């Protein structure tokens, strides 16, 4: 595998990143990465373009996804690496997720329209065809209309879950997520599990249940994890022999996160590759 930093969490325009998979690969090369994982929300549509784009670059591509799951109103993101993209269980679940995200975005726009001049078409104009739709696309539409300075401002205001415009979308439980990813031969890694907000931060009993069901690892290095949270995750990983990753969660211009700002040790990536039976790294 290539030398250079390993960044295992990025998004392209297949979901809510602002660069196409090919542009993302170019950015990763320019950032000096050795390995990059493409982990769009609930979609593998970018895999083929990214695999083609790494050819001859010396960059290694890890094909992945960030699966939306939830516990009540809390959203829990599950990174999935090197699974079979045709595995029926996961295909069915992600199709359902993308479909429900679409209707949920429509419901949110219907609410926002009562108070702002925003049309459904304004949101569609911000997303590529077939993209996994989310609040970031509504945010971009609000920015285009002058109602917010940038995505972050939109999230802090109109799109905040307490704003009155928020709608949840359907998602499987984290336990179902872990099972589906393992069934597909992939390796499930809990994304940013120690942030300050209301997302993730599963209680210990839930974490133990996920580990029991086959959770492979935890994303320790992520800008939104607190220091105390990282310490907790390291201890958890040591006790249960979990893989530890570190990643940027790059979204192009959609977030301040920069490629390689957190990275993963080669020994930890080796464990992911070893456990995976659904797909292999693409060595460019
Ligand atoms: P959704 O899944 O549609 O509810 O939207 C959540 C997504 O929005 C996550 O994938 C984040 O990447 C993105 N997001 C959350 N907060 C922000 C923010 N402050 N600025 C930009 N993107 C954000
Ligand atoms: Fe995102
Ligand atoms: Fe996430
Ligand atoms: Zn992400």
**Segments making up each domain of the chain, as ranges:** 6-93+170-283
Cα of 269 vs centre of ligand 3, distance in Å, is 19
List CB contacts of 248: < 8 A, sequence separation 6 or more: 7, 9, 10, 223, 257, 258, 259, 260, 261, 262
Selection from 92, 38, 50, 72 nearest residue 202 by Cα:
72
CATH ID of 6-93+170-283, from 3.40.50.1820, 3.40.430.10, 3.20.20.140, 3.40.50.300: 3.20.20.140
CA of 37 to the centre of ligand 3 (A): 14
Q: Which residue numbers in the chain have pLDDT < 70?
A: 1-2, 197-200
Q: Which of 61, 64, 63, 60 is nearest to 3 (CA)?
A: 60
Q: How far is CA 70 from CA 116, 143, 183, 224, in A?
A: 29, 28, 19, 18
Count of Cβ atoms closer than 10 Å to residue 280 Cβ:
11
Tell me if 180 sits within 8 A of 91, measured CB to CB.
no
DSSP summary character for residue 41: B
Nearest ligand (C-alpha, residue 149): 1
Q: Is 165 in the pocket of ligand 1 (CB under 6 A)?
A: no
Q: Residue 41 C-alpha to ligand 2 middle, in angstroms? A: 7
Query: For the chain, what's the residue count?
Result: 284
What are the pLDDT digits (tens) for 9-38? Answer: 999 999 999 999 999 999 999 999 999 999
16 close to ligand 1 (CB < 6 Angstrom): yes
Contacts of 48 (CB under 8 A, 6+ apart): none
Give pTM, 2 decimals. 0.97
Residues with CB under 5 A from ligand 2 (ion): 16
Tokens of 47: 């895999």
Rg (CA), the chain: 18
DSSP 31: T
- Residue 209, token pair as written in the block: 């249940």
């Amino acid at each position: 595998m290539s030398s250079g930093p390993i960044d295992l969490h990025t998004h392209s325009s297949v979901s809510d990143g602002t660069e196409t998979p090919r542009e993302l690969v170019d950015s990763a090369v320019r950032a000096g990465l050795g390995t990059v994982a493409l982990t769009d929300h609930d979609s593998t549509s970018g895999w083929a373009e990214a695999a083609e784009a790494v050819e001859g670059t010396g960059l290694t591509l890890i094909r992945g996804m960030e699966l939306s799951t939830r516990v009540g109103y809390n959203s829990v993101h599950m990174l999935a690496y090197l699974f079979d993209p045709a595995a029926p269980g996961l295909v069915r679940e992600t199709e359902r997720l993308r479909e429900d995200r679409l209707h949920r975005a429509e419901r949110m726009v219907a609410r926002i329209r009562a108070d702002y001049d925003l049309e459904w078409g304004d949101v569609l104009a911000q997303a590529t065809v077939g993209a996994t739709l989310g609040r970031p696309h509504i945010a971009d539409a609000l920015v285009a209309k002058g109602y917010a300075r940038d995505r972050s401002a939109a999230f802090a205001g109109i799109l905040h879950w307490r704003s009155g415009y928020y709608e949840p979308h359907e998602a499987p439980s984290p336990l179902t997520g872990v099972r589906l990813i393992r069934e597909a031969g992939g390796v499930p890694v809990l994304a940013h599990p120690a942030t300050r907000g209301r997302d993730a931060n599963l209680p210990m009993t839930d974490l133990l249940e996920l580990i029991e069901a086959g959770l492979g690892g935890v994303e320790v290095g992520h800008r939104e994890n607190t220091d105390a949270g990282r310490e907790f995750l390291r201890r958890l990983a040591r006790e249960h022999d979990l893989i530890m990753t570190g990643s940027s969660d790059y979204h192009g211009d959609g977030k301040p996160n920069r490629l390689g700002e957190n990275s993963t040790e080669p020994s930890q990536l080796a464990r992911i590759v070893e456990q995976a039976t659904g797909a292999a790294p693409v060595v460019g």
